[in-house]
Amino acid sequence: MGIAGVVLGIIICYVWLKVSKKNQLSHYEYEAKAKAKAIENEAELLLKSAGVKVKEKEIEQASEFQKRLAKVDDRERVLILQTKELDKKEEKLKTLEQRIIDRESQLEKLEETKQNEINHAINKMQNVASLTKEEAKIYILNKVEEQSRAEVAGIVRKYEQEAKHEGEKKANYILAQATTRYAGDFAGERLINLIHLPSDEHKGRIIGKEGRNIKALEMLLGVDIVVDETPGVILVSSFNLYRRAIATRVIEILVEDGRIHPGRIEEVHDKVLKEFEQRTYEEGENILIDLGLFPMHEELVRLLGRMKYRASYGQNALAHTLEVAKLARVMAAEMGGDEKLALRAGLLHDIGKALTQDMGGSHVDIGVDLCRKHGEHPSVINAILAHHGYEEPDSVESAAVCAADKLSAARPGARREVLESFTKRVKEIEDIATAKSDVTQAYAINAGREIRVFVNAQKMSDNEAVLLSKEIAKEIQQKVQYPGEIKVNVIRETRATSYAK
């Protein structure tokens, strides 16, 4: 009974499971059919939508085609009009071309008539003068050329002589007036200052223990102090006049005071430095007051006073500056320029030299930067640049400063030159001349301010000699540094010797 019950249970479970599975499969089948129906409906909708878009695209393309067709029609009408205009222009061109052809024909006939007349005239000339056509042509051209050359050369020489005569006359007058109206004092400073001591005991104080005082002095003042066996004297040596003057004053105060040690040296140096700064400003201010050139920037006034302690080739920079300024003023007045502007330009033309020993570099560049910084007149800046050839003078005042600078620097005794540099410059000038072809000898004379060049007269003409002098002068100007100007004389000499027997 128990086994029968179990079997019956199993059968019932199997039947139940089978019926459940069948119901589940029917449910899945129903869902699948529903999804298939939905997909079919969606596909029909998509087909309808695509059909609508296709029709819209067809309508749009048809409209675009109609627009393009209308444009083509418009262009066709324009082309027809242009073609008609071109036809008209072509007809006009044909008419003009025919006129040109007719004119050319007329010109050819006229040219033929002219040539016939020329040939007829040439035949007559040949019969009368017994010359061929080419000979007559050459003869006439040569005569015309000779006559023209002689006339031109005569005119040029005449005006050159007149211009030279008048130029020399006017230049000599201006220089004479300038130099007679101004006479300056010229100072030549040495490279050492002597300081007199009350006794030789002060030499030991200046040297100090283990030389600490003299070392402190030399380091602080920037000078060399020479203590030798000369009784009652020490030497202060330096190329910088400003530092040398300060050092001299500091040592004099220390000697008078008697207290000499590094701390006291620094204290006295600061005091003297302030005094010199004030003194240089006052000196520059006094110069401007005397010349009537106020106002001027404080820095330029101070540097102007400081130029008293600057020298070039042994010539005091301030004395040179004042000389140039006053000469330039007189020259500008004679030439109808602005006297005050020329005076100001001359006063500032070397202002950069006040800083070259401290800053280094060209005094021209430093001076230009200073004057531009402080708003000086363009003619002043041009004078600074022009007096050393950086620019050409652009005004009467600049030209006057350049002339005055050369006059002040080149006059005998104004500047001292080292013998070695002088001989080197003379040799450079002579070498430039002798390197040229057909030069036999060259001699520098007049302290190197003139050179005489002798050339081979058989190989060089007068015109070539003139050209050679210009070439030598140009090369000297480019390669040699010199004050003033150098005159180049090219000498071409022909000697003929014969004997009467």
Q: Which CATH number do you get for residue 481?
A: 3.30.300.20
Token pair for 398: 């600049």
**Measured between alpha carbons, how far is 367 from 409 in angstroms, rounded to an integer?**
19
243 in the same domain as 231: yes
231 in the same domain as 268: yes
Q: What is the pLDDT of residues 332-355, one digit of tens each?
A: 888 888 888 888 888 888 888 888
CB 462 within 8 A of CB 448: no
Mean pLDDT of the chain: 79
* pTM, full prediction: 0.45
Domain count within the chain: 5
Query: Vertex 313, ends 400 and 304: CA angle to 5°?
Result: 60
* Residue 21 maps to a domain: no
* Residue 434 maps to a domain: yes
C-alpha of 432 from chain center: 27
396 in the same domain as 346: yes
**Predicted local distance difference test score (pLDDT) of residue 148:** 60
Minimum mean pLDDT among 39-43, 112-116, 175-179, 235-239: which range? Answer: 175-179
**Measured between alpha carbons, how far is 141 from 60 in angstroms, rounded to an integer?**
87
280 in the same domain as 358: no
Does residue 109 carry a pLDDT above 80?
Answer: yes
Query: What are the residues whose beta carbons fall under 8 Å from the beta carbon of 344, sequence distance 6 or more?
Result: 293, 325, 376, 377, 380
* Residue 392 maps to a domain: yes
Arithmetic mean of pLDDT, 121-131: 65
Residue 227 burial (CB < 10 Å; 0-12/13-18/19+)? middle
* Residue 113 maps to a domain: no
Does residue 490 carry a pLDDT above 50?
Answer: yes
Q: Look at strands 487-492 and 450-455 and give their pairing.
A: parallel
CB atoms within 10 A of CB 430: 17
318 in the same domain as 284: no
CB atoms within 10 A of CB 165: 10
Which structural domain range is residue 142 located in? Answer: 135-181
Specify the residue for token string 């001349």: 433
* Residue 267 maps to a domain: yes
* Residue 42 maps to a domain: no
402 in the same domain as 315: yes
Token pair for 264: 């006291």
CATH code, domain carrying 320: 1.10.3210.10
CB 254 within 8 A of CB 202: no
Residue 195 phi/psi, 5° resolution? -120, 120
**Predicted local distance difference test score (pLDDT) of residue 187:** 34
245 in the same domain as 277: yes
**Predicted local distance difference test score (pLDDT) of residue 183:** 46
245 in the same domain as 213: yes
C-alpha of 66 from chain center: 71
Query: Would you put residue 208 in left (φ > 0), alpha (ψ -120 to 50) or beta?
Result: left
What does the DSSP assignment read for 389-446?
TSS---SHHHHHHHHHHHHHHHSTTS----HHHHHHHHHHHHHHHHTSTTEEEEEEET
Last residue within a domain, chosen from 181, 199, 219: 181
424 in the same domain as 336: no
**Predicted local distance difference test score (pLDDT) of residue 103:** 85
Last residue within a domain, chosen from 291, 323, 350: 291
238 in the same domain as 141: no
* Residue 297 maps to a domain: no
437 in the same domain as 402: no
Last residue within a domain, chosen from 121, 153, 181: 181
Arithmetic mean of pLDDT, 248-276: 86
153 in the same domain as 76: no
